[in-house]
Amino acid sequence: MTDMSVRIGDLKLANPVMPASGTFAEGLGQVMDLSRLGAIVTKTITRELRDGNALPRVAEVQGGMLNAIGIPSKGLSHFLEKTLPLYREWGPPLVVSISAPTVEGFASLASEVSVPGVAAIEANISCPNIEEDGRAFAMRAASTEAVIRRMRAATTLPLWAKLTPNTGDIAEVALAAEAAGADALVVANTILGMSIDLRSFRPSLGNVMGGLSGPCIKPIVLRQVFQCARVARIPIIGCGGVSTAEDAAEFMLAGASAVQVGTATFLNPQAMTEVIEGLDRFCAGRGIARVADLTGALRHAEDSRLESSAA
């Protein structure tokens, strides 16, 4: 039987599969056994109440979907008083995703969600940043380092930095997050895109542009996981187009220690448990005793050159 446990820093997870923030809520517990997950990642919360973006917020595209939800939130108080007690009923470690428009906003929110029952904080630094003319913090190394360093000083909980794929050098950003004190990297968020409704000649989304997710982005994010894993020493959680156990195995071979499942859950509420079961079968069929042994086990040309020079 495969040992499905993995470690993300000081956190030990029963398996490497968890939801992507924004694609999961406590209601999913009515159709699947949440205790089977490696971790639970909350929908991103903000301090203030947020209505989100104008409708329509979701559009189907070939190979995936676009969304411009806009992080609707009932606010910090509602999360602490109403939502957190529900999550405490399940066993997997709880990772709280947070977002704020400023460095200080991220830091104060991190401090206030550092309460019993929260195992780690996921910093959604791929959201718009009003201190940088609307750019996401994670688009640049300097702004990434500034926000993660300030959050690191505000909490003792494990801190996961969720990066954006919409940057020219994600490896540089990953190194900045690591240097500032991040305990893990989530690679990555959605890719900025748009579509047009040819019946109305209007954008398909009320916000015009939105985040592209689903199987169509997997090759891009897989490449980014590989690039980050080559330079960073902290664990990586792959996120982008994971629909099957084979997808998860690819991400782990590229260097991820765990994966997040997002869009696939909208199509199949059992997607995460199927990925867990499939990974177990994948390892068993290849005589791999520990799923963690998949991490970074990719064989490629560079390995061959090193072996040749050593001989």
69 labelled as ligand-binding? Answer: yes
82 labelled as ligand-binding? Answer: no
214 labelled as ligand-binding? Answer: yes
43 labelled as ligand-binding? Answer: yes
241 labelled as ligand-binding? Answer: yes
Distance CA 79, CA 77 (A): 5
Residue 283 annotated to the active site? no
Burial class (CB within 10 angstroms; exposed 0-12, middle 13-18, buried 19+) of 112: middle
Q: Is 173 within 8 Å of 163 (Cβ atoms)? A: yes
Distance CA 11, CA 14 (A): 10
Sheet with strand 64-67: strands edge to edge = 58-61, 64-67, 210-213, 191-193
Kindly name the residue from 127, 216, 228, 239 that is annotated as catalytic.
127
Q: Residue 170: name the closest of 149, 146, 189 by CA.
A: 189
List the beta bridge partners of residue 13: 6
Question: What is the crossing angle of helices 245-253 and 271-285, to 10°?
Answer: 60
Q: Is 83 left (phi over 0), alpha (psi -120 to 50) or beta?
A: alpha
71 labelled as ligand-binding? Answer: yes
List the beta bridge partners of residue 58: 67
262 labelled as ligand-binding? Answer: yes
68 labelled as ligand-binding? Answer: yes
144 labelled as ligand-binding? Answer: no
Q: Is 161 within 8 Å of 186 (Cβ atoms)? A: yes
- Residue ranges for the binding site for FMN? 21, 43-44, 124, 162, 214, 240-241, 262-263
- Residue ranges for the binding site? 21, 43-44, 67-71, 124, 162, 189-190, 214, 240-241, 262-263
- Residue ranges for the binding site for substrate? 43, 67-71, 124, 189-190
Q: What is the set of active-site residues?
A: 127
